[in-house]
Chains A and B, each alone.
Chain A
């Protein structure tokens, strides 16, 4: 069997596995967020927080909950790194400097997991497990909570109430993320991922001498890193490191973990709005883009254009032998079309067009299937815009899921789709115009520009992967990517929740013969088109200067 056929079969196996769990996982998540019952342990936790989980929140209250929880999260993680030098259980690693601590704290709280540090020489056990991994859970739970609040906005009427943030946060963590992660972590250990709390191992070598490795709770962090679409690696090489991703099977399994919740949330959405067909239409949109991008990536990577790759006879630079071109291509698209940013191969050494695909994937807003929660709310915003475009074409007031899309709703949706590109392009332009930031580039020419464009695309979209040649551990990049991550996470969330609030207040519009049928393939086609055209128009000039210039040279 050739590598291309093997790659296609892997892709089919992945689709089969995702299809198998789609309904049960999606239905389960819907039950979690609709249930009136609290588990006993949850009741204890609510007592600890001092929150009443049954108190409904309006959208401003929901926003305040998220912002306070996240602000505390950033501060806590910042202090944990600043104090690492005096904390026990840190392998004696020294404290992290202020700019990098700020960057890393923001990075993990915003579900980005951009890393300007080398995990194996910087972060000890305490920061990794009690700091970084905790945010892997809760930042993912926050993302799902916002998506669920938006879905409630569509599902409810004549109320401003969107649910309770604390209840959504705790349930998402305890009932969804923790159980999946425990199972996933044990599977990873069984295949060779390490899981211990020992210090630095000194191990003999075949030719004599010894090598030193970090021990650590790697498998437990790896599991939530993928399930929560976080992406922050324990080691610098991330999921290319054999202790994080030891076998071809774990590679496919990790891709599955990345995609499972974002895809299944469309089912949750369908169940909660009372029409699973609406969920299928959104799923079809995500799936079409994901499959198309994966096919394109395989094509360009197997074709291996680019001088160095042609001399080598294959695009294996930055790729592991056990995954090959196929397993690396599937991973690269899954990680950038979600907000994950974990890598099992290094995107900077992909073909010019392959690197461009990873960038374009993020620029779509990470909605196919997107991050845990953020993918669903992102695609629903695009659906609102697609409905609006369709409304303009037929001259009818647009409506979606029985809710009118009026001026206020459109302003919020437009603000949502403008904020991220504005952050990406402005930060990139300023970094290129100033005298010192370009010194961080490793490669020159078009690819050097791509490194900077990639960095801010990744930060503002909360992805976290990198064209990692860029030396991002400077005060400029630590501060500016930090700001891009903060603004790129929380401003869109505010717009989404405001939209959810105004939808929830409306009374439903009855379905008539003139209603656009948003559960039909025609709408899926319209939505895919809207997504590609809006992103294309926004980013084409920047992409032309970077990956297109390199790929078509």
Chain B
């Protein structure tokens, strides 16, 4: 009996020493070496791919933002600022409930199932809004034109991209609201469309923040 207790203790002691040594290798040396290489070779990317406009940091090219009007009295949700290209819905985003001296965004999805009534309503409402917001005099959006990414929330809630189809749908509205020629806005979208990597990896996409920065430049020039 006594013997087996000593044996167990010895074994646990060996286990602890193994854990500590391997923690040193994989939990201290490994992340430090990778961080060293990352900070040395890819400084901007390792720190979040920050992006500047007029010398001011306006976000990360990888993190989606919202382009809304300031919240008015009596409103629960802010209205989109229709002068700017809009990103995807982000109904799964949360805010932190722990360590609340920070205001951290909690990434996430809605996790609503395909037959969930709330999701059906969210998608329907989003579709109505996309059709309404993007129809301008002389150009009416048909519901069948609205791509799926325009009315669904992404996995992270921070999707920086939209499909080229959704960007093109917004061109008429952007041109009208900013008093720009349609062709110019159209070209802007084309210039900011990234195709599939190597022609087949992923999906074609438009980075909304980069597009809006370019749009801001265009309106400032005018």
Contact = CB atoms under 8 A, between A and B. Distances in A.
A206 B18 contact: no
Given A129-B27, A219-B34, A240-B154, A211 B59 contact: yes
B21 A45 contact: yes
B129 interface: no
A292 interface: no
Contact of A308 (B53, B107, B114): B114
Nearest to A174: B25
A196 B47 contact: yes
A438 interface: no
A223 B34 CA distance: 11
Given A121-B96, A220-B35, A469-B111, A243 B48 contact: yes
A343 B110 CA distance: 14
Contacts, number: 404
Nearest to A50: B14
B203 A3 contact: yes
Contacts of A311: 120, 123-124, 127, 151
A194 B46 contact: yes
A108 to B, nearest CB: 12
Given A94-B99, A249-B201, A312 B151 contact: yes
Contact of A442 (B28, B97, B101, B112): B112
Interface stretch (B132-140, B158-166, B173-181, B182-190): B158-166
Contacts of B50: 203
Contacts of B203: 3, 6, 248, 321-324, 326-327
A69 B155 contact: no
Summarize B's interface: helix, strand, loop or mixed: mixed
Given A178-B25, A311-B127, A312-B151, A186 B38 contact: yes
B197 interface: yes
Nearest to B154: A320
Contacts of B141: none
A327 B25 contact: no
A437 interface: no
B15 A72 contact: yes
Contacts of B124: 311
Contacts of B35: 195-197, 217, 220
Name the residue among B37, B67, B152 with the largest chain A CB count within 10 angstroms. B152
Contacts of A241: 107, 156, 158
Contacts of B13: 50
Contact of A65 (B11, B101, B104, B107): B11
Nearest to B116: A443
Interface residues of A, number: 131
A235 B94 CA distance: 12
B114 A64 contact: no
A91 B99 CA distance: 9
Interface in A1-30: 1, 3, 5-6, 9-10, 13
Contacts of B34: 182, 185-186, 189, 195, 217, 219-220, 223
A443 B113 contact: yes
Interface stretch (A145-153, A348-356, A397-405): A348-356
Nearest to A347: B111
Interface in A159-208: 166, 169-170, 173-174, 177-178, 181-182, 185-186, 189-198, 200-201, 203-207
A68 B11 contact: yes
A213 B105 contact: yes
A307 interface: yes
Interface string A342-381: 0111101111100100000000000000000000000000
Contacts of B64: 242
A348 B58 CA distance: 33
A206 B38 CA distance: 27
30 contacts: A9-B200, A10-B200, A13-B200, A45-B21, A50-B13, A68-B11, A118-B94, A133-B30, A134-B23, A138-B22, A192-B45, A201-B48, A204-B59, A211-B105, A220-B31, A237-B109, A237-B156, A248-B202, A308-B119, A314-B149, A314-B152, A316-B152, A318-B110, A318-B153, A321-B149, A322-B203, A349-B109, A349-B114, A443-B113, A550-B115
Given A204-B57, A237-B107, A323-B202, 20 more contacts: A6-B196, A50-B14, A68-B8, A69-B15, A72-B12, A73-B15, A92-B101, A118-B94, A118-B108, A170-B18, A193-B45, A200-B104, A206-B59, A206-B67, A305-B114, A308-B113, A317-B123, A317-B153, A322-B161, A322-B205
9 closest Cβ pairs, A-B complex: A248-B202, A306-B114, A314-B148, A240-B155, A237-B107, A324-B203, A469-B111, A237-B156, A346-B109
